[in-house]
Amino acid sequence: MKKFVIIWLFLLVVISYAASSAIVIGTTDKIRTLDPANCYDYFSSNILQNVLAGPVDYEIGTANIKPWLFEKWEVSEDGLIYTFHIRKDAYFEDGTQIDANVFKFSFDRVMKLNGDPAFLLTDVVKKTEVVDKFTFKVTLKYKFSAFVSVLGYTVAFPVNPKVVPENAFYDFAPSASGPYKITEWIRDVRIVLEENPRYFGPKPKTKKIIIQFYENSQQLRLALETGEIDVAYRHLDPRDILDLQNVPGIKVYLGPSPQIRYLVVNVQQKPFNDPLVRQAIALAVNRKTITEDIFVGLTKPLYSMVPAGMWSHVNVFPERDIAAAKEVLKLAGYSKANPLVIDLWYTPSHYGTTEADVAQVLKEALEETGMIKVNIKYAEWSTYVEYFLNGTMGLFLLGWYPDYLDPDDYLWPFLSVNGAKSLGSFYENKTVENLMIAGRAATNQFSREMIYKQVQNFHASDVPYIPLWQGIADCEAWDYIKGIVLEPTQIFRYYILEKK
């Protein structure tokens, strides 16, 4: 009996140590899908970046592309043919080797299924070919100088043909090829990542990561302060972020971010199909109240879809001008007696609990014209995505994290025909699309910059989107957690976190 008790106590110690050695991360975000062919929201993509290996990666903490599954590549003289050489030591968790056939299957599947992010490939890729077992060739429709950068986004990450259906999206955990594999996933409750022994790269600093999902920022803050979680990542209330800077033992990480927030305007839905209506709304929004009152100065007003600090950025949208907004509304046929009545949509948890406040500030700003009446509506994230994809919503809040760090990523996904459909504006302008294609083909930054400035001017005139503010990167953690890096790419790497 005594021997049994000793063994039982020993097991308890082992179990306790195993639990304590794991890192627990809390978030209010949600996972929509873990299928790279249909994954186009930040948090889902970030999970994939820790579970799957990509063709290329970024050097940690930088925007510098490095070879990863692709060891090296050559580009033809005309810039249309990319020949990629695949490393020979990469496998999925079931032992399936990642080779040229896997890449062809994965690229072709994305383009065939035509999910949310597929246009990143379909708009530019003409065909894919298997040259030999470890040589993969991609032919482009036109020259695109940032093509390799696109391969750093999850849309280009290979999936396991033995597990994944070729002709349908999947709704389960993917077969891992990266540092972690998923061992448990209870949607909106918990997802557990454990070390993937098949991974060819460096082993994770921490073998087990547990991600807990919370309903709101108040629950997330409480979980951090009580020690229920080690790290809070997305989304604490801005005032909580400031408060936690004064809590002993908790460290607040803040950094610059190319994350932007904006209003999407469905240009094919009445009354937003009138450009005067869109221009009036753009003149009436109050960016400074949002950034100063709601985000307590942690964010900055934004007057272009290209973020401030990125080359080619220019302030193309005007400062707030209520008098001008009234004049434009009059030209569109509206008045106090005949107001413009519109719905403004937001999603209550995906971007944090501040979203309702943002919607209210926007409503008050627009109604200050005396000629606009705003009805605020909301939907949870999965429904919200469905609504903007099928054109249900005419005016709604959305956010953007970069797929690749290039001005093209803040213009092409928004203003190309296929990209605009994926983001719910349904904007079409062939002149703008041709300009962007010219920008993609240009090989020197000055030429591209001149083109992208023209594109931004078109955008400010047509107003399919209204930029509002540029965010910051933040993370809050107990000071025994090391390895937190807020990267310019916005990749949050769980595998470099450790307890010390």
Domain count for the chain, please give it.
3
Residue 385 lies in a domain: yes
Any idea how long the chain is?
Answer: 500
Per-residue pLDDT tens digits for 399-423: 999 999 999 999 999 999 999 999 9
Both 396 and 299 in a single domain? yes
Predicted confidence at residue 14, as pLDDT, reads 34
pLDDT of residue 20: 61
**243 and 285 share a domain?**
no
Establish how many alpha carbons lie within 13 A of residue 58's alpha carbon, considering only the half-sphere containing its beta carbon: 24
Question: Do residues 411 and 448 lie in contact, with contact meaning Cβ atoms separated by under 8 Å?
Answer: no
Residue 256 dihedral angles phi and psi, to the nearest 5° = -65, 155
Residues 311 and 204 reside in one and the same domain: no
Residue 241 lies in a domain: yes
Tens of pLDDT, residue by residue over 84-117, are: 999 999 999 999 999 999 999 999 999 999 999 9
Pairing of strands 81-86, 135-140: antiparallel
Structure confidence at residue 64 (pLDDT): 96
**For residue 358, what are the CA distances in angstroms to 139, 190, 263?**
44, 29, 11
What secondary structure letter does DSSP report for 129? E
pLDDT at res. 349: 87
8 inside domain: no
C-beta separation of 292 from 358 below 8 A: no
Both structure tokens of 465? 């989107």
264 and 405, same structural domain? yes
* 2 domain residue, yes or no: no
Q: Are residues 294 and 345 in the same domain?
A: yes
Contacts of 32 (CB under 8 A, 6+ apart): 39, 41, 44, 381, 382, 385
SS (H, E, C) 426-459: CCCCHHHHHHHHHHHHCCCHHHHHHHHHHHHHHH
Residue 428 domain-assigned? Answer: yes
What span, in angstroms and rounded, lies between the C-alpha atoms of 265 and 399?
A: 13
Residue 56: its pLDDT value, please?
Answer: 98
Query: CA-CA distances (angstroms) from residue 246 to 221, 242, 249?
Result: 14, 8, 9
User: Domain check: are 299 and 401 in the same one?
Assistant: yes
The CATH number of residue 134's host domain is 3.90.76.10
How far is the C-alpha of 449 from the C-alpha of 351, rounded, in Å? 31
Looking at the structure, tell me whether residues 238 and 308 fall in a common domain: no
Query: Is 202 within 8 Å of 212 (Cβ atoms)?
Result: no
Judgement on whether residues 346 and 382 belong to the same structural domain of the protein: yes
Q: Which residues of the chain have pLDDT under 70?
A: 1-20
Tell whether omega for the bond before 248 is within 30 degrees of 0, i.e. cis. Answer: no
Q: Are residues 243 and 262 in the same domain?
A: no
Residue 180 lies in a domain: yes
139 and 98 inside one domain:
yes
Tell me if residue 344 falls in helix, strand or coil: strand
Q: What is the pLDDT of residue 98?
A: 98
Which residues, including other chains, have CB under 8 Å from residue 383's CB and lie 6 or more apart?
none
Structure tokens of 349?
């948890």
Q: With respect to residue 452, please indicate whether it lies within any of the assigned structural domains.
A: yes
Residue 194 domain boundaries? 23-30+173-255+473-499
- 301 contacts: CB under 8 Å, gap ≥ 6: 287, 288, 290, 291, 468, 469, 470
